[in-house]
Chains A and B, each alone.
Chain A
């Protein structure tokens, strides 16, 4: 684990953001979100200008411009972090390479958006960056190649949101967008379950995660720090109740005075091809098969 940040590194009362110019709607959106929260805005025309300013002045948040290449943004962040280790940086880029997301996570970027992205999602992530008091030990990349990434994630919702946004930022033309979205959705459900039931949303606990990109499948492994469970005993979860009666688990939860829930595993199971738990029940593998590439007509 990296050294945990202390509460002292949170934004000062006069919080300041440095925005590298993207142009158009993105600049207006960011200005409106940050100004709405009372932040002071500074602007830089490009990464070189941003680096010059960031080494001289303290910024709580830096958002890169979408015109620069992804690797240039990661390099900018690496240089800034050497003197400002806890600055939050959100990378926006229209031009990226497949390894950028891993590099951005490894360097400790707060978030990563590759085009096309939803303006509302960006606004939401900026708000999270502004609100999160301690973030930079949340995700730690243990090893990373384009085919196999292993990492740990702190057991809190904001870290889950950040990790999921990094996954959205991965652009692999060989993975159909619809299937990618299904994998991310299923992964998030399983991740939240692991953080909640295995880690009790305790920020001192971490979930172990691996993503493996095989030629014809995507695999995600999630291991939580908990004692595990048995699927057969989960009468309060939809996956353990009658497949024809979606309401039977809700009745059990009501009887046991539990809050509404219990649909995450069922939902994940329906979105991927296989969901395999280990014997203890604290480790799960999701497998999503990809259609084989079409052979050229001979």
Chain B
């Protein structure tokens, strides 16, 4: 299955749910296009949900690294959620899991974007 992307928001965090392959060609072009649009619109907090990504190659990883680098320069951040199987393995190979914060739980991932000491009730 080619890549499909849906976008949702939780507070000031934009969540991209990715489904299928994020590999060179139309799939990575689609991913880069979506990420560039979000950057251009001023999004600073981005969570990429990789739970349903079945394949990731250097092209897909480069889209993630490039976006993360851009966000860092602007004071924002990109985080990863639930990479599985082969996708987790390839991220581990390039040591991206050591560089980009990665979570198994969406609630924890969203909480990590909040400043320390912040409480939802405060």
Binding site for B on A (CB under 8 A): 120, 123-124, 157, 181, 185, 188-189, 192, 238, 246-247, 250-251, 253-254, 259-264, 266-267, 270-271
Contact = CB atoms under 8 A, between A and B. Distances in A.
B68 interface: yes
Interface string B46-82: 0000000010011101110111111010000000000
B96 A250 contact: no
B62 A260 contact: yes
Contacts of A253: 66
B115 interface: no
B94 interface: yes
B32 A260 contact: yes
Contacts of B57: 185, 188-189, 264, 267
Given A120-B1, A181-B86, A253-B66, 8 more contacts: A188-B57, A192-B24, A246-B65, A254-B70, A260-B67, A263-B58, A263-B62, A264-B57
A238 B95 CA distance: 12
A247 B72 contact: yes
B99 interface: yes
Nearest to B68: A247
Contact of B65 (A123, A124, A259, A263): A263
A204 to B, nearest CB: 20
Closest CB pairs A-B (n = 5): A260-B66, A263-B58, A260-B62, A250-B69, A264-B58
B62 A262 contact: yes
Contacts of A251: 69
A196 to B, nearest CB: 8
Given A120-B1, A157-B24, A247-B72, A260 B65 contact: yes
A262 B54 CA distance: 22
Main secondary structure of the interface of B (DSSP, over half): helix
A237 B72 CA distance: 19
Main secondary structure of the interface of A (DSSP, over half): helix
A250 B1 contact: no
Q: Which among B32, B59, B90 has the greatest number of chain A C-beta atoms within 10 A? A: B59
B36 to A, nearest CB: 9
Contacts of B117: none
B42 interface: no
A267 B94 contact: yes
A247 B58 contact: no
B62 A120 contact: no
Given A250-B66, A260-B65, A263-B61, A120 B94 contact: no
A57 B62 CA distance: 47
B54 to A, nearest CB: 7
A247 B65 contact: yes
B93 A271 contact: yes
29 contacts: A123-B1, A124-B2, A157-B24, A157-B25, A185-B57, A188-B57, A189-B57, A189-B58, A192-B24, A246-B65, A246-B96, A247-B69, A250-B62, A250-B66, A250-B69, A254-B66, A254-B70, A260-B67, A261-B58, A261-B59, A263-B58, A263-B62, A263-B65, A263-B94, A264-B57, A264-B59, A266-B58, A267-B58, A267-B90
Contact of B1 (A124, A192, A254): A124
Contacts of B86: 181
B54 A120 contact: yes
Nearest to B64: A260
Contacts of A123: 1
Contacts of A185: 57, 90
B67 to A, nearest CB: 8
